[in-house]
Amino acid sequence: MNNKSAIVVGAGILGLATARSLAEKGYAVTVIERSQFSLGASVRNFGMLWPVGQPDGKLYNRAVRTKEIWLDYLHAAEIPYNACGSLHLAYCKEEMSVVEEIGSFFKSKNRPVSVISKQTVLDNYNGINSDGLIGALRSEDEAIIDPREGIRKLPSYLSEKYNVQFIWGTAITSVTSNAAFAGKTKYSADMICVCSGADFETLYPAQFKQQPIIKTKLQMMRFKHKDPTYRIGASICGGLSLLHYKSFTASSSLTKLRMKIEEEIPEYFKYGIHVMVSQNNEGELTVGDSHEYALDFDPFDKIEINNMILEYLKKLIHIDQWEMIQSWNGVYPIMTNGATDLFLNPEPGVYILNGIGGHGMTMSFGFAEEMVNTI
């Protein structure tokens, strides 16, 4: 039996996933979080488990494994989720070419996808804009969790199942081998894992500056439908999302689609906008998002970004019966060299897990499990 101890700095989804993986290996785990509860990028997202966006091989397998762990937790904690799959709508021949190529490629890799007709879309999904619709890629892999509920209840689950300890409202100010410090207060452990998202630069500023890493600010909104029984039936996205996710680069038609969109709506690339809507189990509709890149941001949302997102959304789905109930922004770190994650060992017994970008819900459990297995 493993009698070693570990401290995890940060109680976002990657920190919680790391705590779980360490506990599975027999470590006595303590999670230390500067806030009173998780309030960063981990709760400011679509809640999408999104394997369809991951390229075949290691990353897709990581997404599938992450989904397995999520569902084990959700079932055990009796937390509802929406296993609705995803729908990638095509409104021009260039989008449809990408959909058809990707559908054929994914099927050859035994992914649960199909290319469906306009009529099949309209017969099976609610509120879809039929004007100009050609067809869609349907994927069965995706599920929606309300991240606010899923993340909020995860610490209690980890405490009950693995005896993971949590120290809230405590900012770790420095880390050395076998110890984390909150000012003069010392917390000792055999291993320290730093999983504090964009804040890891405060603990290891030199290592942060050496990495090809930058921060991303996104803007999102949440709506409710005037009919509380309304359900779309899938997570919805369009051509901009075909350009956004790496899995779709397997299509040779993607270049033509990019050229078309860059010519018609170049302003969407300025803010890195791609438009999606997810619906949680309560029927609430989460819409976004944008991507601004810098090391620091002003704290204010840009109304023009939200307006651009909604104008594009209207091409995909009828929103006249939707009422906005919330808007927000979030910040997370992302690698600038195309890497999908960051794993560092800056000194003995200290590990930094970071850089999974906007894929925390989809990838964290699998990534943490892989990294803990390598330690």
Residue 155: strand pairing partners: none
At residue 293 the predicted structure's pLDDT band, cuts being 50, 70 and 90, is very high
- Provide the pLDDT for residue 45: 85
Full-prediction pTM beyond 0.85? yes
d(CA 232, CA 216): 29
Mean pLDDT value of segment 145-160: 93
pLDDT, the chain, mean: 94
Confidence of residue 170 (pLDDT cuts 50, 70, 90): very high
- pLDDT tens for 105-123 read 999 999 999 999 999 999 9
H, E, C per residue of the chain: CCCCEEEEECCCHHHHHHHHHHHHCCCEEEEECCCCCCCCHHHCCCCEECHHHCCCCHHHHHHHHHHHHHHHHHHHCCCCCECCCEEEEECCHHHHHHHHHHHHHHHHCCCCEEEEEHHHHHHHCCCECCCCCCEEEEECCCEECCHHHHHHHHHHHHHHHHCCEEECCCCCCEEECCEEEECCEEEECCEEEECCHHHHHHHCHHHHHHCCEEEEEEEEEEEEECCCCCCCCCEEECHHHHHHCHHHHHCCCHHHHHHHHHHHCCHHHHCCCCCEEEECCCCCEEEECCCEEECCCCCCCCHHHHHHHHHHHHHHECCCCEEEEEEEEEEEEEECCCCCCEEEEEECCEEEEECCCCCHHHHHHHHHHHHHHHC
Question: pLDDT band for position 188 (50/70/90)?
Answer: very high
pLDDT at 41: 75
Pick the closest to residue 87 from 103, 74, 71, 108 (CA basis).
103
Task: Look at residue 1 and tell me whether its pLDDT is greater than 60.
Answer: no
Neighbours of 126 (CB within 10 A): 14
Q: Per residue in 195-254, pLDDT tens? A: 987 678 889 998 888 999 988 999 999 999 999 999 999 999 999 999 999 999 999 999
Crossing angle (nearest 10°) for helices 93-108 and 254-264: 150
Out of 3.30.9.10, 3.40.50.720, 2.40.50.140, 1.10.10.10, select the CATH number for domain 86-140+213-335.
3.30.9.10
The tokens 């927000």 sit on which residue? 328
**Contact (CB, 8 A) for 234 and 138:** yes
Please, is 17 exposed, middle or buried when counting C-beta atoms within 10 Å of its C-beta (0-12, 13-18, 19+)?
A: buried
pLDDT of residue 110: 95
Give mean pLDDT, residues 309-317: 97
Mean pLDDT, residues 320-326: 97
Distance (Å, whole) CA 168 – CA 182:
12
What's the confidence (pLDDT) of residue 40?
Answer: 77
Name the pLDDT band for 37 (thresholds 50, 70, 90): confident
pLDDT surpasses 90 at 276: yes
Do the Cβ atoms of 207 and 352 come closer than 8 Å? yes
Architecture of domain 5-46+148-211+339-374: 3-Layer(bba) Sandwich (3.50)
Rounded to whole angstroms, how far apart are CA atoms 315 and 273? 15
C-alpha–C-alpha distance, residues 50 and 36, integer Å = 29
86-140+213-335 matches 5-46+148-211+339-374 in CATH topology: no
- Domain coordinates of the chain in residue numbers? 5-46+148-211+339-374, 86-140+213-335
For residue 19, what are the β-bridge partners?
none
